[in-house]
Structure 1
């Protein structure tokens, strides 16, 4: 059993379709009103069927009140880290500290190259992501919120060079940097430098049990860097369907979902469950019937006091 002890978070993974243009926004509002913690959107800047994710995040921030927002995951090869750092800090300030930053190393290289991004090998993409995370943190590192620290940012990497860029603005809160990763090299990098890990369960070989081997790579990276493995939050994109009878993992009634997610939290270290759904009724049921039950069950298993409802 592995439980890293993080507070539980529940969110939704919404497709940023541009037809109808307001659909993704309306679903984020549903998730906000239902009491979920996170609304996330995939980022494929080369996909003309989708809204631009950063524009969408900004618009959704203005339409919601309390829910935190993130890309799932932001395509770093097409978004320069220094500019992304300022964009993220700005949106965090404007939204009252409601932005998190999940990053990806890239994968659809033909499409990325067609948009002007450079093609990288898998190893190079991990190097570039690690350099990018360092630049983002340097831009945010100021003496005071909104101010500049003496001296600019100087990073001369293999993939990114920033030479004297001014620091700031600082975000409104300590933005988490999460990494979408499945392979050993990027998992170890996640353990070295990131705040969280955000894979999709559908791509994990062996289902929930397969998370253990992937967590081990993150833990090894953290140990090698002198960090505690508990410093890295483990989140998970999941898919499911509510139905009367048990038809498999997350294919059944809400009580079954709650039991299965509780087991993943306690046995495999996951503390964030992000449901891929574009259906308002499913999002509301997840928020009202599944999330509270999992919180209560995990709290009991940990010997903690019953959690307070976010609403």
Structure 2
């Protein structure tokens, strides 16, 4: 696990939509008002449905005063590096030092060639981009003697005058995935800017290792390379997948990326104002709190001047990487409440308990948070279940009044109450089913691979998922009877009570046997 100790930053990745230019600019202004650090725009000069990115950045710079701006990422094949350098420096001077420079080697070559540029192979693109970075840095180095001299294969700039220098040291961030480009980042760039939605498991760790080694080989400190990440997802009431859930689910996952993968800048790809607001005002502060707390409790922080060390597997570790303090597991399973008088369908006496935890093992703050995450998800389900019981009680009271009044209006209100309850129950049952499906298809295989001793526990949990599904079907049948009959409330109440007793028993057991393995192995 590597934390390069960079300050955390949060930004937006917006579409330069030419059909709604006022809305695009308004979103950028909103990002500043929300307190985001950075606003970025795609750069596809061959795309007629997009505004020109540099023109848009200049316009947005004039409409804002604090937020930093960058292309994400500038299409270098279509933007000569000497001209791009002067454009970036000029805008940095005009904006008060608020420009960063994301660069890309070009991805859509048919469209690029259609704009009149010769096609490059992937290997040639790497060479061309590194040459372009050299040109850009020489243009900015206004005080160096002589003119710009880069006698490259793809970029030959022989004697251009230097300047202007930007107001601040503009960060050169490169969007890339392949090893040759990653090595170039380690040698020459200030930041790595991939997109999470294009990455496979392990890509960040592998990419960091390649960049760090290339930086060391070039005599650089790996901490000179900021790790940025474009992210996208959905805010929802229940944690369902990666970056799909409530703000606290997002915060836990982004904090993990910061503490374990070294990511320090998170850029959300969305044009939805509400999502930007949640990201800026709920997710970002929570990530800062989690990471700040973890850094505070980190022990044995290396001195910045000490030599860079090697870690397990030979992967380089940047000076300042934080080995997080490990403490005893403090997360506890929630005991089930007193049953509501039903006989659960689960055979609680046959439940295996799984392997005994190692009493000598400690857990980092992030590992503790992973175990707590399971409890948090279950707390949401338990809370919703209590709301379901409250709603049943309210509808039951309404039925009594409507039956006594025997008026047409009260009857119609009663029918409405029944369908409101039915919709709520069906929604809740879908949430439970989705939660179990995610565990069955994602978390459980990961845990089974990570510790084969968990196989009996996982088999039991999956069997109970099927049993709970049958109880949910009973609730559904009771709902049908409740809606169509005057005396359906007892059956519905009994079905909901059975669901409650069965589900809370299962959730408690699952926490008892999985909190420690999830803390130790992660969620997959």
For 1:117 and 1:59, how far apart are their aligned partners in 2?
A: 27
Q: Which deviations, in whole Å up to 9, do the C-alpha atoms of 1:155-193 show, x marking residues without a partner? A: 110001111100000000000000000000000000000
Q: Does 1:187 align with 2:182?
A: yes
* 1:181-260 matched pairs, under 5 angstroms: 181-206=176-201, 209-260=202-253
> 1:25 matched to which residue of 2?
25
> 1:271 matched to which residue of 2?
264
Q: Which secondary structure does the structure 2 equivalent of 1:288 belong to? A: helix
Q: Which secondary structure does the structure 2 equivalent of 1:22 belong to? A: helix
For 1:119 and 1:220, how far apart are their aligned partners in 2?
A: 30
| Structure in which a larger fraction of residues adopt strand | 1
> 1:307 matched to which residue of 2?
none
For 1:77 and 1:278, how far apart are their aligned partners in 2?
A: 27
> 2:6 matched to which residue of 1?
6
TM-superposed CA distance for 1:210, in Å, is 2.7
Instruction: Output the TM-score relative to the length of structure 1.
Output: 0.94
Q: Which secondary structure does the structure 1 equivalent of 2:21 belong to? A: coil
TM-superposed CA distance for 1:150, in Å, is 3.8
TM-superposed CA distance for 1:98, in Å, is 0.3
| Structure 1 runs, 4 residues or longer, greater than 6 Å off | none
Unaligned 5+ residue runs, structure 2? 298-524
Higher relative contact order (CA 8 A, sep 6+): 1
For 1:246 and 1:255, how far apart are their aligned partners in 2?
A: 9
> 1:61 matched to which residue of 2?
61
Q: Which deviations, in whole Å up to 9, do the C-alpha atoms of 1:101-158 show, x marking residues without a partner? A: 0000011111101111121000000000000000000000012xxxxx5411111100
| Structure in which a larger fraction of residues adopt helix | 2
Q: Does 1:121 align with 2:128?
A: no
Q: Which secondary structure does the structure 1 equivalent of 2:283 belong to? A: helix
Unaligned 5+ residue runs, structure 1? 144-148, 305-311
Instruction: Output the TM-score relative to the length of structure 2.
Output: 0.56
Q: Which deviations, in whole Å up to 9, do the C-alpha atoms of 1:269-292 show, x marking residues without a partner? A: 100000001011110111100101
Q: Which deviations, in whole Å up to 9, do the C-alpha atoms of 1:244-296 show, x marking residues without a partner? A: 01111111111111111001100011000000010111101111001011111
Number of equivalenced pairs = 297
> 2:280 matched to which residue of 1?
287
Q: Which secondary structure does the structure 2 equivalent of 1:262 belong to? A: helix
